[in-house]
Structure 1
Amino acid sequence: MSRKKKFNKRKIKPDIKFNNLEISKFINILMLSGKKNKSEKIIYKALYYIKSKNKNPIKIFLKAIENCKPLVEIKNKKIGGSNYQIPVEVNLNRRISLSMKWIKKFALKRKERFTYIKIANELIDASENKGSSINKKIEIYKMAESNKAFSNFNF
Protein backbone atom coordinates (compact mmCIF):
# COMPACT_ATOMS: atom_id res chain seq x y z
CA MET A 1 0.00 0.00 0.00
CA SER A 2 1.28 3.40 -0.93
CA ARG A 3 1.35 5.98 1.82
CA LYS A 4 1.88 8.92 -0.49
CA LYS A 5 -1.04 11.29 -0.76
CA LYS A 6 -1.81 13.71 -3.54
CA PHE A 7 -2.06 17.24 -2.24
CA ASN A 8 -3.79 20.08 -4.01
CA LYS A 9 -1.55 23.04 -4.73
CA ARG A 10 -2.54 26.20 -2.94
CA LYS A 11 -3.51 29.07 -5.22
CA ILE A 12 -1.37 32.17 -4.82
CA LYS A 13 -2.96 35.56 -5.33
CA PRO A 14 -1.12 38.10 -7.49
CA ASP A 15 0.64 40.94 -5.72
CA ILE A 16 -1.10 44.22 -4.99
CA LYS A 17 0.88 46.78 -6.97
CA PHE A 18 1.93 44.97 -10.15
CA ASN A 19 -0.77 42.26 -10.29
CA ASN A 20 1.87 39.62 -11.08
CA LEU A 21 1.99 36.03 -9.77
CA GLU A 22 5.77 35.67 -10.06
CA ILE A 23 6.36 38.73 -7.90
CA SER A 24 4.03 37.36 -5.21
CA LYS A 25 5.89 34.02 -5.32
CA PHE A 26 9.19 35.86 -4.92
CA ILE A 27 7.74 37.81 -1.97
CA ASN A 28 6.79 34.50 -0.34
CA ILE A 29 10.26 33.08 -0.95
CA LEU A 30 11.94 36.16 0.53
CA MET A 31 9.67 36.12 3.58
CA LEU A 32 11.27 35.15 6.90
CA SER A 33 9.32 34.19 10.05
CA GLY A 34 5.97 35.06 8.46
CA LYS A 35 6.80 38.76 8.01
CA LYS A 36 5.20 39.25 4.62
CA ASN A 37 4.83 43.03 4.91
CA LYS A 38 8.55 43.41 5.39
CA SER A 39 9.37 41.26 2.36
CA GLU A 40 6.78 43.12 0.25
CA LYS A 41 8.41 46.44 1.15
CA ILE A 42 11.85 45.09 0.24
CA ILE A 43 10.69 43.77 -3.15
CA TYR A 44 8.77 46.93 -4.05
CA LYS A 45 11.74 49.11 -3.05
CA ALA A 46 14.00 46.93 -5.20
CA LEU A 47 11.65 47.25 -8.17
CA TYR A 48 11.41 51.02 -7.74
CA TYR A 49 15.22 51.16 -7.46
CA ILE A 50 15.40 49.39 -10.83
CA LYS A 51 12.82 51.83 -12.18
CA SER A 52 14.96 54.76 -10.99
CA LYS A 53 17.74 53.48 -13.25
CA ASN A 54 15.39 54.04 -16.24
CA LYS A 55 14.64 50.35 -16.76
CA ASN A 56 11.35 48.48 -16.79
CA PRO A 57 11.29 46.59 -13.44
CA ILE A 58 8.76 43.91 -14.42
CA LYS A 59 10.62 43.02 -17.63
CA ILE A 60 13.94 42.86 -15.78
CA PHE A 61 12.42 40.71 -13.03
CA LEU A 62 10.87 38.24 -15.49
CA LYS A 63 14.00 38.19 -17.66
CA ALA A 64 16.17 37.47 -14.60
CA ILE A 65 13.98 34.53 -13.57
CA GLU A 66 13.91 33.25 -17.17
CA ASN A 67 17.71 33.39 -17.42
CA CYS A 68 18.22 31.58 -14.09
CA LYS A 69 15.84 28.68 -14.80
CA PRO A 70 17.78 25.39 -14.92
CA LEU A 71 16.73 22.69 -17.39
CA VAL A 72 18.53 19.88 -15.55
CA GLU A 73 19.60 19.18 -12.00
CA ILE A 74 21.72 16.56 -10.28
CA LYS A 75 20.15 13.87 -8.09
CA ASN A 76 22.19 11.44 -6.01
CA LYS A 77 21.37 7.74 -6.26
CA LYS A 78 23.05 4.88 -4.48
CA ILE A 79 23.57 1.88 -6.74
CA GLY A 80 25.61 -1.14 -5.68
CA GLY A 81 27.31 0.58 -2.76
CA SER A 82 28.46 3.66 -4.67
CA ASN A 83 26.77 7.00 -5.13
CA TYR A 84 26.13 8.35 -8.61
CA GLN A 85 25.10 11.86 -9.55
CA ILE A 86 22.40 11.48 -12.16
CA PRO A 87 21.24 14.40 -14.32
CA VAL A 88 17.45 14.73 -14.27
CA GLU A 89 15.15 17.13 -16.11
CA VAL A 90 13.36 19.70 -13.96
CA ASN A 91 9.65 20.45 -14.30
CA LEU A 92 8.46 24.02 -14.82
CA ASN A 93 7.30 24.84 -11.27
CA ARG A 94 10.56 23.60 -9.78
CA ARG A 95 12.56 25.59 -12.37
CA ILE A 96 10.87 28.81 -11.31
CA SER A 97 11.27 28.12 -7.59
CA LEU A 98 14.94 27.16 -7.98
CA SER A 99 15.71 30.32 -9.92
CA MET A 100 13.97 32.49 -7.31
CA LYS A 101 15.77 30.73 -4.45
CA TRP A 102 19.14 31.19 -6.16
CA ILE A 103 18.47 34.88 -6.79
CA LYS A 104 17.53 35.34 -3.12
CA LYS A 105 20.51 33.37 -1.84
CA PHE A 106 23.13 35.14 -3.92
CA ALA A 107 21.52 38.57 -3.49
CA LEU A 108 21.79 38.29 0.28
CA LYS A 109 25.48 37.38 -0.04
CA ARG A 110 26.26 40.60 -1.91
CA LYS A 111 28.25 43.39 -0.25
CA GLU A 112 25.81 46.30 -0.70
CA ARG A 113 24.41 48.04 2.35
CA PHE A 114 20.64 47.61 1.99
CA THR A 115 18.73 44.43 1.14
CA TYR A 116 16.60 46.05 -1.55
CA ILE A 117 19.74 47.27 -3.36
CA LYS A 118 21.24 43.77 -3.12
CA ILE A 119 18.13 42.21 -4.66
CA ALA A 120 17.81 44.90 -7.34
CA ASN A 121 21.44 44.52 -8.42
CA GLU A 122 21.20 40.73 -8.48
CA LEU A 123 18.05 40.96 -10.63
CA ILE A 124 19.77 43.37 -13.02
CA ASP A 125 22.84 41.11 -13.25
CA ALA A 126 20.72 38.00 -13.80
CA SER A 127 18.73 39.72 -16.53
CA GLU A 128 22.02 40.51 -18.31
CA ASN A 129 23.29 36.89 -17.90
CA LYS A 130 25.84 37.88 -15.26
CA GLY A 131 25.98 37.37 -11.53
CA SER A 132 26.27 34.51 -9.08
CA SER A 133 22.87 32.95 -9.77
CA ILE A 134 23.77 32.51 -13.46
CA ASN A 135 27.14 31.04 -12.41
CA LYS A 136 25.27 28.49 -10.25
CA LYS A 137 23.15 27.47 -13.25
CA ILE A 138 26.25 27.07 -15.44
CA GLU A 139 28.00 25.06 -12.73
CA ILE A 140 25.05 22.64 -12.53
CA TYR A 141 25.05 22.28 -16.33
CA LYS A 142 28.76 21.40 -16.24
CA MET A 143 28.17 18.77 -13.56
CA ALA A 144 25.25 17.32 -15.52
CA GLU A 145 27.37 17.19 -18.69
CA SER A 146 30.22 15.40 -16.91
CA ASN A 147 27.81 12.85 -15.38
CA LYS A 148 25.84 12.30 -18.58
CA ALA A 149 27.06 8.68 -18.70
CA PHE A 150 25.00 7.84 -15.61
CA SER A 151 21.73 9.08 -17.09
CA ASN A 152 20.72 5.47 -17.85
CA PHE A 153 20.36 4.94 -14.07
CA ASN A 154 17.42 7.31 -14.15
CA PHE A 155 14.77 6.99 -11.45
Structure 2
Amino acid sequence: MRRKKKEKRELVLDAIYDSSLISKLTNHLMFSGKKSTAQKIIWGALEEIKKVKKTESPVEVLESAIKNVTPMVEIRPRRIGGATYQVPREVQPDRGFSLASRWLISAARAKKGKPMAKKLAEEILLATKNEGA
Protein backbone atom coordinates (compact mmCIF):
# COMPACT_ATOMS: atom_id res chain seq x y z
CA MET A 1 0.00 0.00 0.00
CA ARG A 2 1.21 3.52 -0.75
CA ARG A 3 2.40 5.78 2.02
CA LYS A 4 1.20 8.93 0.29
CA LYS A 5 -1.82 9.37 -1.92
CA LYS A 6 -0.79 9.58 -5.55
CA GLU A 7 -1.55 12.92 -7.20
CA LYS A 8 -3.91 12.86 -10.15
CA ARG A 9 -2.47 13.88 -13.47
CA GLU A 10 -3.78 17.07 -15.00
CA LEU A 11 -6.09 16.30 -17.89
CA VAL A 12 -5.69 18.10 -21.21
CA LEU A 13 -8.95 19.86 -22.06
CA ASP A 14 -10.87 19.15 -25.26
CA ALA A 15 -9.69 21.21 -28.25
CA ILE A 16 -13.10 22.33 -29.54
CA TYR A 17 -15.38 22.46 -26.50
CA ASP A 18 -12.67 23.19 -23.88
CA SER A 19 -14.22 20.66 -21.50
CA SER A 20 -12.59 18.11 -19.21
CA LEU A 21 -15.79 16.02 -19.33
CA ILE A 22 -15.46 15.52 -23.08
CA SER A 23 -11.75 14.68 -22.86
CA LYS A 24 -12.48 12.05 -20.17
CA LEU A 25 -15.26 10.58 -22.31
CA THR A 26 -12.85 10.53 -25.28
CA ASN A 27 -10.35 8.55 -23.24
CA HIS A 28 -13.05 6.05 -22.23
CA LEU A 29 -14.15 5.62 -25.85
CA MET A 30 -10.62 5.21 -27.24
CA PHE A 31 -9.36 1.83 -28.53
CA SER A 32 -5.66 1.02 -29.02
CA GLY A 33 -4.53 4.62 -28.48
CA LYS A 34 -6.52 5.98 -31.43
CA LYS A 35 -7.51 9.24 -29.80
CA SER A 36 -8.21 11.17 -33.01
CA THR A 37 -10.81 8.56 -34.03
CA ALA A 38 -12.46 8.74 -30.60
CA GLN A 39 -12.50 12.55 -30.78
CA LYS A 40 -14.17 12.49 -34.21
CA ILE A 41 -16.86 10.15 -32.86
CA ILE A 42 -17.58 12.33 -29.83
CA TRP A 43 -17.53 15.57 -31.83
CA GLY A 44 -19.89 13.96 -34.36
CA ALA A 45 -22.21 12.87 -31.54
CA LEU A 46 -22.21 16.40 -30.10
CA GLU A 47 -23.04 17.81 -33.57
CA GLU A 48 -25.99 15.37 -33.78
CA ILE A 49 -27.15 16.57 -30.35
CA LYS A 50 -26.80 20.18 -31.50
CA LYS A 51 -29.13 19.44 -34.45
CA VAL A 52 -31.80 17.91 -32.19
CA LYS A 53 -31.55 20.25 -29.17
CA LYS A 54 -31.11 23.66 -30.75
CA THR A 55 -31.74 25.68 -27.57
CA GLU A 56 -29.30 23.86 -25.27
CA SER A 57 -25.54 23.54 -25.50
CA PRO A 58 -24.45 19.97 -26.38
CA VAL A 59 -22.03 19.98 -23.43
CA GLU A 60 -24.92 20.79 -21.05
CA VAL A 61 -26.97 17.96 -22.57
CA LEU A 62 -24.03 15.58 -22.09
CA GLU A 63 -23.60 16.72 -18.47
CA SER A 64 -27.28 16.12 -17.70
CA ALA A 65 -27.12 12.68 -19.36
CA ILE A 66 -24.08 11.71 -17.27
CA LYS A 67 -25.82 13.02 -14.14
CA ASN A 68 -28.93 10.94 -14.87
CA VAL A 69 -26.94 7.76 -15.51
CA THR A 70 -24.57 8.12 -12.53
CA PRO A 71 -25.47 5.73 -9.68
CA MET A 72 -25.85 7.06 -6.14
CA VAL A 73 -25.24 3.75 -4.33
CA GLU A 74 -23.46 0.52 -5.21
CA ILE A 75 -23.02 -2.73 -3.31
CA ARG A 76 -19.54 -3.84 -2.35
CA PRO A 77 -18.52 -7.18 -0.86
CA ARG A 78 -17.47 -6.98 2.79
CA ARG A 79 -15.95 -9.97 4.56
CA ILE A 80 -17.02 -10.29 8.18
CA GLY A 81 -15.90 -13.44 9.97
CA GLY A 82 -16.27 -16.30 7.52
CA ALA A 83 -19.13 -14.76 5.57
CA THR A 84 -19.09 -12.24 2.74
CA TYR A 85 -21.91 -9.69 2.81
CA GLN A 86 -23.01 -7.29 0.09
CA VAL A 87 -22.89 -3.87 1.74
CA PRO A 88 -24.39 -0.77 0.07
CA ARG A 89 -22.00 2.16 -0.18
CA GLU A 90 -22.17 5.63 -1.63
CA VAL A 91 -20.42 5.99 -5.00
CA GLN A 92 -17.48 8.41 -5.16
CA PRO A 93 -17.89 11.13 -7.85
CA ASP A 94 -14.96 9.91 -9.99
CA ARG A 95 -16.19 6.32 -9.91
CA GLY A 96 -19.74 7.48 -10.65
CA PHE A 97 -18.59 9.32 -13.78
CA SER A 98 -16.50 6.33 -14.83
CA LEU A 99 -19.45 3.94 -14.47
CA ALA A 100 -21.85 6.31 -16.23
CA SER A 101 -19.56 6.91 -19.21
CA ARG A 102 -18.78 3.19 -19.46
CA TRP A 103 -22.51 2.35 -19.48
CA LEU A 104 -23.33 5.00 -22.10
CA ILE A 105 -20.53 3.84 -24.40
CA SER A 106 -21.34 0.13 -24.02
CA ALA A 107 -25.04 0.80 -24.73
CA ALA A 108 -24.07 2.73 -27.87
CA ARG A 109 -21.70 -0.05 -28.98
CA ALA A 110 -24.46 -2.65 -28.51
CA LYS A 111 -26.67 -0.94 -31.12
CA LYS A 112 -26.15 -2.07 -34.69
CA GLY A 113 -26.54 -0.56 -38.14
CA LYS A 114 -25.54 3.08 -37.61
CA PRO A 115 -22.31 5.05 -37.28
CA MET A 116 -20.96 5.21 -33.72
CA ALA A 117 -21.45 8.99 -33.50
CA LYS A 118 -25.19 8.63 -34.18
CA LYS A 119 -25.54 5.73 -31.75
CA LEU A 120 -23.74 7.65 -29.00
CA ALA A 121 -25.85 10.76 -29.63
CA GLU A 122 -29.04 8.68 -29.38
CA GLU A 123 -27.94 7.13 -26.08
CA ILE A 124 -27.03 10.55 -24.66
CA LEU A 125 -30.40 12.00 -25.69
CA LEU A 126 -32.23 9.00 -24.19
CA ALA A 127 -30.23 9.39 -20.97
CA THR A 128 -31.29 13.05 -20.67
CA LYS A 129 -34.91 11.83 -20.75
CA ASN A 130 -34.15 9.09 -18.16
CA GLU A 131 -34.83 6.40 -20.77
CA GLY A 132 -32.70 3.91 -22.71
CA ALA A 133 -30.60 0.87 -21.89
The alignment's TM-score, normalised by the length of structure 2, stands at: 0.90
Q: Within 5 Å, which residues of 2 pair with 1:6-85?
A: 6-55=5-54, 56=56, 57-85=58-86
Q: Deviations over 1:25-51 (max 9, x none)?
A: 100110111110000000001111111
Q: Which residue number in structure 2 is paired with residue 115 of structure 1?
A: 116
Q: Which residue number in structure 2 is paired with residue 146 of structure 1?
A: none
Q: Which residue number in structure 2 is paired with residue 131 of structure 1?
A: 132
Cα distance in 1 for residues equivalent to 2:84 and 2:117: 40
Q: Give the CA deviation at 1:80.
A: 3.3
Instruction: Report % sequence identity.
Output: 38
Q: Secondary structure at the match of 1:9?
A: coil
Cα distance in 1 for residues equivalent to 2:72 and 2:84: 22
Alignment of 1:97 onto 2:95: no
Cα distance in 1 for residues equivalent to 2:113 and 2:104: 15
RMSD value over aligned CA atoms? 1.4
Cα distance in 2 for residues equivalent to 1:127 and 1:102: 14
8 A Cα contact 1:112 1:118, kept in partner: no
Q: Aligned partner of 1:91: which letter?
A: Q
Number of residue pairs matched? 130
Q: Which residue number in structure 2 is paired with residue 4 of structure 1?
A: 2
Cα distance in 1 for residues equivalent to 2:109 and 2:63: 19
The alignment's TM-score, normalised by the length of structure 1, stands at: 0.78
Q: Which has the larger radius of gyration?
A: 1
Compare the two structures and name the one with the higher helix fraction: 1
Cα distance in 2 for residues equivalent to 1:15 and 1:112: 28
Q: Which residue number in structure 1 is paired with residue 88 of structure 2?
A: 87
Q: Give the CA deviation at 1:17.
A: 0.5
Cα distance in 1 for residues equivalent to 2:128 and 2:87: 29
* Unpaired runs of at least 5, structure 2: none
Q: Secondary structure at the match of 2:31?
A: coil
Cα distance in 2 for residues equivalent to 1:85 and 1:110: 32
